[in-house]
Structure 1
């Protein structure tokens, strides 16, 4: 009979994965009656129920299984199922209580030195290359935005999608979904157009927010998150809105007002924020420092308050990752809650015991950027035959702030300024500079004149340089004459070494054992 049960469960699991939920239900409903305390049956049945708008039937069944199982691991799992069901039903107090109960069981395991076995999450996308790396996801983004723009719907890149496009010039390699936003006046039209274009609403963990909706692309398996924004005084607000519920059931994110402009794409004109840095700073603070562990729902710096709704999202994901043995990811969620609410005892205790468990397993604790006040430094240099003087300059430049960006100027620009080509090509010089530990980023295409607009566009606070002569000083100050004086910092030039000196020494045979002996 066990073999028959296993075969039926496998069949039901495959049907659920294929989206044939009614067929799966016809298998699982009798099994639920025949094996009322089977965890395997209950796990699949509860998963199906929460996908088919029957979450209301889950708590009573899951509570029986919770009472029946003995181990803290299984009790944590079923407490999480209960919390998830109540979350979908929008009984957030009950959801919170069950998530806390799950954490309590996991803490008991951690104190006993027991860790759930690590299980990789099954991939739902196509096998093969990462479509965020390959460019397929970005193509889908612009195709979608251009189609909406053609219909008069001003949808634009948002959140993590906007972050990748602005910071990296492409979507984030580690991203998992596409994010777009639209004004609430166009909300209904936008959702209708997406569904007309073939985007499908998923059935898992579905809460009908008034200003947030997610879709899945049926072919690529990419999730599209759609966020609605509306004006509130001098601000814009978004997030998750449940109009008929109290404040603790809302997730309100606040932005300064910004404008949209159209930009050309290969798929037609699409809308884009005119001041993307405004949105990114509101969301992330220091958005230029990568943080692959960031969760916008929980971590966003522009949350009006850390409500019970947001806390339930955080607890749900914390427990979820802990149960599958992903301690680093679980730690990140405990840490994010502690950053939002330093008095959250469950988050603090979870973080402490997760750190203890990771240390015992020789696992590294994730590095979480401190989001300190950034002071970004910019400079331009040739860096030909990279030498000690360059290192001294870059060390001093980096000491002016928290981040150093270096523009390695083009070969053509060197010819214009010095009347001769550098010894090393621009790509070679850029590679040498980027390898220097004092340099955080290298650019190869920037304007010759350093304007306030350029500095603001890239978030630079200081422009710095060093001068070997008075004429060079005059020329360099002329290139940045429109900058406020407080943003310009001249550094000391290292005497006694220069690229020209190195070239001379090379031509004279410096480094040979017999400097005075000529070749025959």
Structure 2
């Protein structure tokens, strides 16, 4: 490649990145005519065409390049380009066929002991503030939701935005966009209001009827708007393509949920009354972070693993494999296999990726178990932590997959037992947190255990142990509103208690003190 041609391609790449598509086309068009079989020119031209209304021209051109190039890596790349173009054109069967061809080339490459070189991320010096970590994006979220609420449009935080607010108390600092949802009866009004407020609609390669992207012109923050529809006892979202068959849809199903109004410093907004219901349906164990989560593929509430979702997942799998990011490619292969265990191409792809990572001594990714967990909740004093406490916590943890312990306050102990514990609450909490059977410790909870509290925290079972009938009656009073299946009483370890330890300490200290005097 001559320096002049290389410079032209760099300028074209910068123009595409800046969204100056007409200028890029004026530069690439003559180069394409002069060098019709140049892969470097073809890559940029196809990338440009798939961002404009010329995507229909890609398949013929990319097919010519595919037939011309040699080697499985280049064949896989151009099969991927063909699959992507067909996907945008909504020719999904053809898209799947091209993606399958790309996978076959990549597996052949792996079989020969080769992998694509891993491309490092561009190291650009960025001085701008992360607007998600700084709070700027969250401020924009609440301002936008408050503006919509004033117009009687009940838009509310959704998906990853809702996850961050509920799990972390703020937006996820690694997030890339703000997600809000609105019922379809308010869809048109919501989109019109956003544009009136200054949000700019982003052209999408596929125009879905219930999903739209906007960008804030000043902050550059992307806003994803999801339309939801009530269907009896369920609420349905996803990607809708009216007029296309079921295999062209992406349907996500949520249990029925209500909205409430919440005051913020930027105005009153709408928010899910029980956000945990949405998060549990979407993520399963939403409290466990999963850095490899992909909203389109990973969601547990997919109605069906349709051809639309499969083609998207294939696209991402192949894309990461071509970039040499084997761990990320493996994660997509694994997710597809979870949805369709009979997908032979994906199963074989995952095996070849594993072989390559083992050979290169790369760390194997671990996919978190994102199925719904059975979360156990209990309250205890845990003063002078002893064997009985350990036995109880071991048995409590065995009831499910996650154990949360509330270490009650000193004041509550004084109120119930008429005396303060030997150890302060902070000291007791540290000891309980160090127990291997405990996943989380809380220090501030209401005295009673209600169904609302259990649901809000995702707890499935409340458990306790009783040393006497009086204590049993008192503990059942605290949870009398729970259903029987949510309550589990465990056996009390006889022969040891904190009171016994206190007496032993007092007696032992006295004898030791007497011996020392004599």
TM norm structure 2: 0.90
1:394: which partner in 2?
393
Q: Which runs of 5+ in 2 are unaligned?
A: none
Q: Which runs of 5+ in 1 are unaligned?
A: none
- Contact 1:394–1:438 (CA<8 Å) still a contact in 2? yes
Q: Distance in 2 between matches of 1:235 and 1:389?
A: 45
2:47: which partner in 1?
47
Matched residue count: 517
Change (3 A) 1:429 1:365: same
Q: Distance in 2 between matches of 1:176 and 1:345?
A: 33
1:413 aligns with 2:431: no
1:333: which partner in 2?
332
Cα distance, 1:31 vs structure 2: 2.0
Q: Distance in 2 between matches of 1:195 and 1:125?
A: 33
- Contact 1:124–1:221 (CA<8 Å) still a contact in 2? no
Q: Distance in 2 between matches of 1:433 and 1:218?
A: 50
1:431: which partner in 2?
430
Q: Distance in 2 between matches of 1:71 and 1:38?
A: 15
2:488: which partner in 1?
489
1:114: which partner in 2?
114
Q: Distance in 2 between matches of 1:509 and 1:353?
A: 66
Q: Distance in 1 between matches of 2:206 and 2:233?
A: 29
Q: Distance in 1 between matches of 2:505 and 2:197?
A: 65
2:464: which partner in 1?
465
Deviates more, 1:113-122 or 1:392-401: 113-122
Q: Distance in 1 between matches of 2:125 and 2:140?
A: 15
Deviates more, 1:66-75 or 1:20-29: 20-29
Change (3 A) 1:220 1:387: farther
1:25: which partner in 2?
25
Q: Distance in 2 between matches of 1:429 and 1:18?
A: 57
Q: Distance in 2 between matches of 1:123 and 1:144?
A: 33
Cα distance, 1:157 vs structure 2: 1.5
Q: Distance in 2 between matches of 1:471 and 1:299?
A: 49
Cα distance, 1:208 vs structure 2: 0.6
SS in 1 for 2:267: coil
- Contact 2:208–2:240 (CA<8 Å) still a contact in 1? yes
Cα distance, 1:108 vs structure 2: 0.8
2:193: which partner in 1?
193
Change (3 A) 1:413 1:118: farther
SS in 2 for 1:141: helix
Cα distance, 1:484 vs structure 2: 3.0
Q: Distance in 2 between matches of 1:515 and 1:110?
A: 78
1:91-130 Cα distance to aligned partner (Å, 9 max, x none): 1122111111111111111112212222244589965665
Mapping of residues 22-421 of structure 1, within 5 Å: 22-122=22-122, 130-203=130-203, 206-372=205-371, 374-421=373-420
2:441: which partner in 1?
442
- Contact 2:76–2:105 (CA<8 Å) still a contact in 1? yes
Q: Distance in 2 between matches of 1:442 and 1:504?
A: 28
1:338-358 Cα distance to aligned partner (Å, 9 max, x none): 122222111111112112222
- Contact 1:125–1:221 (CA<8 Å) still a contact in 2? no
Q: Distance in 2 between matches of 1:518 and 1:142?
A: 71
Change (3 A) 1:190 1:35: same
1:452-480 Cα distance to aligned partner (Å, 9 max, x none): 33223323222112234444333323222
1:410-430 Cα distance to aligned partner (Å, 9 max, x none): 333233334454455444433
Q: Distance in 2 between matches of 1:463 and 1:181?
A: 33
Cα distance, 1:363 vs structure 2: 3.0
Q: Distance in 2 between matches of 1:370 and 1:418?
A: 41
Cα distance, 1:388 vs structure 2: 3.6
Q: Distance in 2 between matches of 1:123 and 1:249?
A: 38
Change (3 A) 1:45 1:190: same
Q: Distance in 2 between matches of 1:11 and 1:503?
A: 79
- Contact 1:406–1:443 (CA<8 Å) still a contact in 2? yes
* CA RMSD, 1 decimal: 3.0
Change (3 A) 1:487 1:234: closer
Q: Distance in 2 between matches of 1:225 and 1:439?
A: 38
1:150-197 Cα distance to aligned partner (Å, 9 max, x none): 222111122222233334433345543322111112212222222333
Q: Distance in 1 between matches of 2:269 and 2:54?
A: 40
- Contact 2:83–2:99 (CA<8 Å) still a contact in 1? yes
1:291-345 Cα distance to aligned partner (Å, 9 max, x none): 3323221232332222211111111111111111222221121122112222211
Cα distance, 1:247 vs structure 2: 2.2
